[in-house]
Amino acid sequence: MPGQLVLLRHGQSQWNLENRFTGWVDVDLTEQGRAEARAAGKLLAEEGLQFDVAFTSLLQRAIKTLWLALEELQQPWVDVERHWRLNERHYGALQGLDKAETSAKHGEEQVHIWRRSYDIPPPPMADDDPEHPRFDSRYAKLDARVLPATESLALTLERVLPFWHDAIAPRLKAGETVLVTAHGNSLRALVKYLDGIAEDVITGVNIPTGIPQLYRLDDQLNVIESRYLGDADAAKAAAQAVADQAKGKA
């Protein structure tokens, strides 16, 4: 039988708190975010999960969430692989901007298209922008042509899927229990793929911070069951808080 899969979005980051587009900017967790990570670890412990391997991105908010969850779970020895393909969606020229102010300037409808449409990316970051990932040492060994200047969710899925097929899926098929700690959109891309969610439906799906989602899969890694751990109403409220961010409500 294949192992179990858990998806965990990082806890609240400083720019989540400030309601800013974050993308590939390496923003740290807030104190609330660290508490969310520890709470996630407690939920995983209550479920009795024993992990064989964990995967995360190259961004510290996801890495630290993983550390804190594994520490709370008392499994700090679990093998961890970090990879850029699990990074958050690149928000292009929007990165660093306040979501509500951007909505006021460009219109809520336009920002909703940039933020939530499946295949329309935001305006790209300039190639000579010092924040472009090609100037970041952690991506120095990569071909600059694979590094995004902006991404839609569709492009994020194209980036994430090779890592799923090459690194994550084989471990699940080998019967291992896998934890993936990443970001709202890299996980949303995986959820779309796993659950077969239509393009016009995934735009309304929100991934709450710090609440583990457990998947039970068959031999072909088709989904048998998925659920958020802990209180279902709390997960629903947390997902709604994510949805409200672009409107300046959270």
Active site residues: 10, 88
10 labelled binding-site residue: yes
Residue 20's φ and ψ, nearest 5 degrees, are -115, 150
92 labelled binding-site residue: no
For residue 19, how far is the Cα from the chain centroid?
A: 16
**Integer angstrom CA distances of residue 216 from 3, 20, 69, 178, 201:** 8, 34, 20, 11, 22
Contact criterion met (CB below 8 Å) for 35 and 55: no
57 labelled binding-site residue: no
Rounded Cα gap, residues 191 and 210, in angstroms: 16
204 labelled binding-site residue: no
Written as six digits, the tokens of 103 are 């909505």
184 labelled binding-site residue: yes
88 labelled binding-site residue: yes
Q: What is the DSSP letter of 225?
A: E
22 labelled binding-site residue: yes
138 labelled binding-site residue: no
Rounded Cα gap, residues 19 and 130, in angstroms: 22
65 labelled binding-site residue: no
- Nearest-CA neighbor of 207 among 216, 194, 217, 219? 194
Written as six digits, the tokens of 234 are 């709390």
Contact criterion met (CB below 8 Å) for 118 and 150: no
Q: What's the one-letter identity of residue 242?
A: V
14 labelled binding-site residue: yes
Rounded Cα gap, residues 5 and 164, in angstroms: 12
**Integer angstrom CA distances of residue 70 from 6, 38, 184, 228:** 13, 8, 20, 18
- Nearest-CA neighbor of 154 among 202, 109, 196, 84? 202
12 labelled binding-site residue: yes
87 labelled binding-site residue: no
16 labelled binding-site residue: yes
139 labelled binding-site residue: no
Binding residues, as ranges, are 9-16, 22-23, 61, 88-91, 99, 115-116, 184-185
Binding residues for substrate, as ranges, are 9-16, 22-23, 61, 88-91, 99, 115-116, 184-185
